[in-house]
A and B are shown apart, each in its own frame.
Chain A
Amino acid sequence: EVQLVESGGGLVQPGRSLRLSCSASGFTFDDYPMHWVRQAPGKGLEWVSGISWNSGTIGYAASVKGRFTISRDNAQKSLSLQMNSLRLEDSAIYYCVKEGQFLSAYFFDYWGQGTRVTVSS
């Protein structure tokens, strides 16, 4: 059974940093790209960042580029998101997500339960 378990969320002041982690099990972690998706309170889903299986390709949403850094440790089957210079608008539930692929279609086939980040003074 695929499991994705996020940790590291919490309350943080604007301008400070936070590091999210995701522990994966139930699948061959280093075979798949991984992503972070967030959802602000009462809002829709927003893709934040993605990383290829070997960390060779990384991407960020424009809203977090230059402030957030995604990384993975295939030996530990873990995904991380280092979030610096946090803003009020970064407050959200952050989901760790496994990517699936079928032919030329890419999608998110497994989601963690999410970790809540609240940025407030």
Chain B
Amino acid sequence: ETGVTQTPRHLVMGMTNKKSLKCEQHLGHNAMYWYKQSAKKPLELMFVYSLEERVENNSVPSRFSPECPNSSHLFLHLHTLQPEDSALYLCASSPDRSSGNTIYFGEGSWLTVV
């Protein structure tokens, strides 16, 4: 248990569906992250939020829409995804955005797009 909880753990969705991934951290951290892990590529940073402000959008297609309503919660809204978007989506948090602060990961949400 890392203190970062992701739901759902598994999600199957059609290409026309709209769904959301949820992440909650119980560590009092100020920065939260979305990473994508697929079989074809190393871990890719998607978004970074620091104090609820998005500080990086790493060239992610607009069909992925993040939301950070407060420093404890992070969402990834999914809309009209493609089969190649099937992957493990990992949420992470760190105390703040400064260098050297350890990043803690959740268990991930396995997404399959059919």
A and B interact physically: no
Interface residues, chain A, with chain B CB atoms under 8 Å away: none
Residues of B within 8 A of A (CB): none
